[in-house]
Chains A and B, each alone.
Chain A
């Protein structure tokens, strides 16, 4: 399984870091955690995003949507279905295929207090507009000494899709996650999608909102609270999707589903895994991650992005910095293969984490024997 990067952070041999105020930093923010357990209804991620956009546009006429095919075509992935009819072409703006241009237009409109939602047909295309996202949006509040803020949302599908080859298939979480001035959100479920998108639109700063094409059609239970038009989720707060005591598995977007499935398999083998849905790449909820690792003493990070300087690398760093002495075994980092995404179905499968990879890694951290072949 060479496609999977298994990175062990060898803790042994390093001098113990000074802990200082790390307990202080880790003070649990339990009061902020809400649970929405009264699930009553199923909703697809697509409908969750659509309803969130709809409600925010209804509530605030400063909010408008722009991008390719968002209007008459009803969205390349139908996320904006019905919005053109409801809000008109002035607020659901079909743009030419001109990423740098329309992204910058959104940014400029946000300078003047409007709240644009810029849809990228996929985040791969946003590479042509990354100058506008990073230079024009993320840095402006700082450069203008807080006088010009940029309340904009950049959203669209991110991450590997199926069979679309190298240019259409990669995760930008770590890219945007390294930029000061951006907030980067990564919804998994329908509740995430609704709550985070609404929070993103209401936020006064630029938010990169990374959806996943493969999840759009997936249904999730949603609570009554999550269906309320006032619902929103805190930016920068992870969610413990499944409590456990033996190993912490962190994941975001589609990988949360994989981690949960892996946890079910592990359960049968007597390993009780805790699954953390990051929800936000930046800010990263270091407190929740570290608190969990201090409880389970083991960590597996899962992401589809490239391994080097990835989200997993950052999580490893924070755990080594803050919870080094709590680790019983080396951290396992599972990421996409360090190659451009291949086209052939079998190679593509090898290039991205699979449920069995998560299971194997978790077992390794728990010192359960794993066939040697898995390490190849």
Chain B
């Protein structure tokens, strides 16, 4: 049942099988793979045609995995169940993500927010599918496309919108901005604007969980960390460095690749020697899973398994969610390189529409209930905008605050003397 609807590979499996495999059985000639969502990109065919026999052979280890997967699929129950409450919760979260981002676009064009604003439309199944399964103590590390991750993790829409407006009531008092959402309370450890920058930080958060459990003997510390990043990041060194260390030290982390096929204007297939990112998991000794990121039920199932694995101390998982962004890279991106046919194909697979259909068809919810949720979210987003608009701008004095945790900076205590002269400082009990 585990990982149904997804390809899975356990690290030790493939190499045993593949030495005897003929090149004819390569992954790309595997009919089940040809029907995979990768073909959603119009560029795939070109890649398939140009692949050399050598490359085909190098792809063969993965075929064994397809077999494993197919077996699993046959045995698994395709009826992906979730309770009514879960269904409605996920639906509400996805609607919130979508409505919030649509509102951001409006507000950006009205000049209410500024700089780079990267919207999440189309990828909601990933955020909701994963984050809604977390506990409050679990951490989320995001990228510059971070509004919706913060919302899914429970940061109020008011606080996120206000941050985007650059107001004092924002979750970072206007000191973070669109690309840098932090919430210590909700364990949102930041949006990181550099490609790959957040992955080591997330790995460090996972390291801290393990350290707490094993060194500080906090037996109940089973917190996991989700690191979200895109396909473009998977060609960056920090990604590989951290896959290695996370697997080496069995850290409780899930590397969630939101493969939306495009890194700004660079097609994933044009930038990546082997476009199947999930295969890099087994290369480092961790499971690699490929899942349809437009299907929240499939994402959720994969997420459940991976989060459970991490929580049980069994180590990291790499999950590649194949998804699509319905808007340009940022609101400043004219988005001229993506084929309209490709966009249309993914638009037809809108994850929210799909969930709605599922909920209604499986009688988990009726139209009226879903309408009520949509209406409620519209109000939440309207309220967030009103709140942000009416909130005060940061005060002038705020400019120089928070550079250091040390309130006066530079090791000087509240009474004006050096903190190190306070005996409590050396005992580690001084007020910081």
**Chain A residues in contact with chain B, CB under 8 A?**
31-32, 34, 59-62, 64, 90-91, 95-96, 98, 100-114, 131-132, 135-136, 140-151, 180-181, 183, 199, 202-205, 230-237, 283
Q: State A337–B204 Cα separation when bound (angstroms).
A: 39
Q: Does B183 contact A (CB under 8 A)?
A: yes
The reply to whether A109 and B204 contact each other, CB–CB distance below 8 Å, is: yes
Q: Does B411 contact A (CB under 8 A)?
A: yes
Quick one: closest B residue to A201, CB to CB? B428
Q: State A180–B248 Cα separation when bound (angstroms).
A: 34
What A residues does B418 contact at CB under 8 A? 32, 234, 237
Q: How far is the CB of A79 from chain B (nearest CB, A)?
A: 21
Report the stretch among B208-216, B326-334, B345-353 that lies at the interface.
B208-216
Q: Does B323 contact A (CB under 8 A)?
A: no
Q: State A335–B417 Cα separation when bound (angstroms).
A: 34
The reply to whether A199 and B406 contact each other, CB–CB distance below 8 Å, is: no
The reply to whether A143 and B172 contact each other, CB–CB distance below 8 Å, is: yes
Q: Does B52 contact A (CB under 8 A)?
A: no
The reply to whether B204 and A111 contact each other, CB–CB distance below 8 Å, is: yes
The reply to whether B406 and A204 contact each other, CB–CB distance below 8 Å, is: yes
Quick one: closest A residue to B174, CB to CB? A145
What B residues does A180 contact at CB under 8 A? 403
What B residues does A136 contact at CB under 8 A? 190, 192, 197-198, 200-201
Q: Does B339 contact A (CB under 8 A)?
A: no
The reply to whether B411 and A199 contact each other, CB–CB distance below 8 Å, is: yes
What B residues does A101 contact at CB under 8 A? 200, 203, 237-238, 241-242, 244-245
Q: Does B224 contact A (CB under 8 A)?
A: no
The reply to whether B201 and A107 contact each other, CB–CB distance below 8 Å, is: yes
The reply to whether A111 and B426 contact each other, CB–CB distance below 8 Å, is: no
The reply to whether B204 and A146 contact each other, CB–CB distance below 8 Å, is: no
What A residues does B204 contact at CB under 8 A? 104-112
What are 28 A-B contacts defined by CB distance under 8 Å?
Answer: A61-B216, A96-B248, A100-B237, A100-B238, A102-B241, A104-B197, A105-B200, A105-B204, A108-B205, A108-B206, A109-B208, A135-B197, A136-B201, A141-B405, A142-B402, A143-B176, A144-B182, A145-B172, A146-B402, A149-B404, A183-B410, A202-B426, A204-B432, A205-B409, A232-B420, A236-B409, A236-B412, A237-B418
Quick one: closest A residue to B242, CB to CB? A101
What B residues does A142 contact at CB under 8 A? 175, 402-403
The reply to whether B245 and A108 contact each other, CB–CB distance below 8 Å, is: no
Q: State A211–B66 Cα separation when bound (angstroms).
A: 53
Q: Does B131 contact A (CB under 8 A)?
A: no
Q: How many residues of B contact A (CB 8 A)?
A: 65
Q: State A32–B412 Cα separation when bound (angstroms).
A: 10
Which of the residues A140, A144, A181, A234 comes within 8 Å of B421, measured between beta carbons?
A234
Q: State A98–B242 Cα separation when bound (angstroms).
A: 9
Q: State A225–B425 Cα separation when bound (angstroms).
A: 16
The reply to whether A90 and B211 contact each other, CB–CB distance below 8 Å, is: yes
The reply to whether B208 and A145 contact each other, CB–CB distance below 8 Å, is: no
Q: How far is the CB of B157 from chain A (nearest CB, A)?
A: 18
What B residues does A105 contact at CB under 8 A? 200-201, 203-204, 207, 242, 245
For the complex of A and B, the 5 pairs showing the least CB-CB separation, nearest first, are A104-B200, A108-B204, A101-B241, A149-B405, A144-B182
The reply to whether B201 and A108 contact each other, CB–CB distance below 8 Å, is: yes
Q: Does B184 contact A (CB under 8 A)?
A: yes
Which of the residues A61, A131, A205 comes within 8 Å of B194, measured between beta carbons?
A131
The reply to whether A100 and B241 contact each other, CB–CB distance below 8 Å, is: yes
Given contacts A96-B248, A147-B182, A147-B183, 10 further A-B contacts (CB under 8 A): A61-B215, A96-B241, A103-B200, A108-B207, A132-B201, A143-B180, A205-B404, A230-B423, A233-B420, A236-B412
Q: State A95–B241 Cα separation when bound (angstroms).
A: 10
Which of the residues B141, B180, B245 comes within 8 Å of A98, measured between beta carbons?
B245
Q: Does B173 contact A (CB under 8 A)?
A: yes
What B residues does A106 contact at CB under 8 A? 204
Q: How far is the CB of A343 from chain B (nearest CB, A)?
A: 28
Which of the residues A103, A135, A146 comes within 8 Å of B405, measured between beta carbons?
A146
The reply to whether A235 and B242 contact each other, CB–CB distance below 8 Å, is: no
What B residues does A32 contact at CB under 8 A? 417-418, 421
What A residues does B384 contact at CB under 8 A? none
Q: Does B401 contact A (CB under 8 A)?
A: yes
The reply to whether B215 and A91 contact each other, CB–CB distance below 8 Å, is: yes
What A residues does B420 contact at CB under 8 A? 199, 202, 232-235
Q: How far is the CB of B215 from chain A (nearest CB, A)?
A: 5
What B residues does A151 contact at CB under 8 A? 405
The reply to whether B216 and A104 contact each other, CB–CB distance below 8 Å, is: no
Q: Does B226 contact A (CB under 8 A)?
A: no
Q: Which chain B residues numbered 28 to 56 have a C-beta less than 8 Å away from chain A?
A: none
What B residues does A181 contact at CB under 8 A? 403-404
The reply to whether A109 and B241 contact each other, CB–CB distance below 8 Å, is: no
Query: Which of A64, A96, A145 has the largest count of B CB atoms less than 10 A from its CB?
Result: A145
The reply to whether B405 and A111 contact each other, CB–CB distance below 8 Å, is: no
Q: State A151–B432 Cα separation when bound (angstroms).
A: 11
Q: State A70–B410 Cα separation when bound (angstroms).
A: 29
Q: State A98–B417 Cα separation when bound (angstroms).
A: 40
What A residues does B319 contact at CB under 8 A? none
What A residues does B432 contact at CB under 8 A? 204
Q: State A145–B170 Cα separation when bound (angstroms).
A: 10
The reply to whether B189 and A108 contact each other, CB–CB distance below 8 Å, is: yes
The reply to whether B404 and A141 contact each other, CB–CB distance below 8 Å, is: yes
Q: How far is the CB of A374 from chain B (nearest CB, A)?
A: 38
What B residues does A90 contact at CB under 8 A? 211, 214-215
Q: Does B199 contact A (CB under 8 A)?
A: yes
Q: State A143–B180 Cα separation when bound (angstroms).
A: 7
What A residues does B403 contact at CB under 8 A? 141-142, 180-181
Quick one: closest B residue to A110, CB to CB? B204
What B residues does A104 contact at CB under 8 A? 197, 199-201, 203-204, 238, 242
The reply to whether B175 and A143 contact each other, CB–CB distance below 8 Å, is: yes
Q: State A100–B175 Cα separation when bound (angstroms).
A: 25
What A residues does B318 contact at CB under 8 A? none
What A residues does B177 contact at CB under 8 A? 143
The reply to whether B406 and A205 contact each other, CB–CB distance below 8 Å, is: yes
The reply to whether B406 and A203 contact each other, CB–CB distance below 8 Å, is: yes
What A residues does B199 contact at CB under 8 A? 104
Quick one: closest A residue to B412, CB to CB? A236
Could you mark each residue 376-412 of chain B with 1 if its beta carbon is under 8 Å from any beta carbon of chain A, else 0? 0000000000000000000000000111111001111
Q: How far is the CB of A184 from chain B (nearest CB, A)?
A: 11
Q: How far is the CB of A194 from chain B (nearest CB, A)?
A: 12
Q: How far is the CB of A57 from chain B (nearest CB, A)?
A: 11
Q: Does B202 contact A (CB under 8 A)?
A: yes
Which of the residues A108, A234, A237 comes within 8 Å of B200, measured between beta carbons?
A108
